[in-house]
Structure 1
């Protein structure tokens, strides 16, 4: 499968929660952005500590891995196998969110829901919450640097931004150093644009890659 170069993830430093009730059982869904499997498990433990008297703390998460397929994990946490974690993970996958974790806390209401009822309840709890999650887009960018004289810097920066080229950084020393970001495979077009703007004077230098959020 091709490497992922762009995906949606929850906004940083926020937590979302919602509650759903069926046959006196309370289902509290909580979602947050996570950047590693370890961080996801820390989030799950945090939710367990917040609701220590609940019977179940079922979970699912998807975490991006550079150069590989995302890590996907789920847990039924004592519910019958396949009735909680997998339906939750399926909902998360269907939302297209990555670097996301969701925990559904269940307070048992005394009425058994059956396997089908549990699948529906956990799916509904997550499906009700995910549309509330604010999203950002994370895209892989190739980075390039170039330096120009101070007299040309202002005009060049305005021209670059006007053409939709991402100017990641501008640093001033004896000359002005620009760091530019383009989508993978965009070097040739960037070089052509710069050649036109600087009469061939500016030379691009590769500066690695980085993930950029927008």
Structure 2
């Protein structure tokens, strides 16, 4: 599965109308809506803020006042054609006084997303089981050795009264089994499933 590594924004001008396309990596509808709301506020003086998203729990698009089927649908079609997932696209339009017609709008919104995708860094993502390992500071060396020897990846580390690692397995092996010999000493809890850059 493919997505973009980080947000990207491009700007194009077509017949005096300004089109700003913003792409964001997003995991779910809640994240998409949050970003869409942020950009609606940022560009609240724009003529239109059209959107399209494909995320883990669904997909959708919105023409935001443009004639039906001329903005959101062409945008989501580009994302589908490029086989992108976990992504939200917002195209902000400032009307320049010259009407583009239905065909012109479809081309303008498609082109905006195409150009933004062309500027983005595309990465492969996979769904991984994420585990939280909690242990004493005195066991850091031991845990680091097990992580390395079992080809695990620590995606986050937290140091407070105890040490906590968020870890994933390259082949999605059951991480609890790796650490069961340290039962009582090292706590391993399955946290969630996450789409992460392929490791």
CA deviation vs aligned residue, 1:161-206 (integer Å, no higher than 9, x gap)? 2543023436586x8765533369520xx456x37xxxx7323632
User: Aligned pair in 2 of structure 1 residues 121, 64: CA closer, same or farther (>3 Å)?
Assistant: closer
Q: TM-score with structure 1 length normalisation?
A: 0.65
Q: Greater CA radius of gyration, 1 or 2?
A: 1
Q: Distance in 1 between matches of 2:93 and 2:165?
A: 49
| CA-CA distance at 1:123 after TM superposition | 0.8
116-125 or 157-166, larger mean C-alpha shift: 157-166
Q: Is residue 2:111 matched to residue 1:124?
A: yes
Q: Is residue 2:182 matched to residue 1:202?
A: yes
Q: Is residue 2:40 matched to residue 1:44?
A: yes
CA deviation vs aligned residue, 1:15-59 (integer Å, no higher than 9, x gap)? 5122132xx24342230436241431331332233x4xxxx3141
Gap runs ≥5 in structure 2: none
Query: Among residues 9, 25, 30, which one is paired with 2:21 in the alignment?
Result: 30
The root-mean-square deviation of aligned C-alpha atoms, in Å, is: 3.7
User: Aligned pair in 2 of structure 1 residues 47, 91: CA closer, same or farther (>3 Å)?
Assistant: farther
Q: Distance in 1 between matches of 2:101 and 2:166?
A: 58
| CA-CA distance at 1:109 after TM superposition | 4.6
Instruction: Look up the match of 1:98.
Output: 86
Instruction: Look up the match of 1:17.
Output: 10
Instruction: Look up the match of 1:108.
Output: 96
Q: Distance in 2 between matches of 1:87 and 1:28?
A: 14
Q: TM-score with structure 2 length normalisation?
A: 0.68
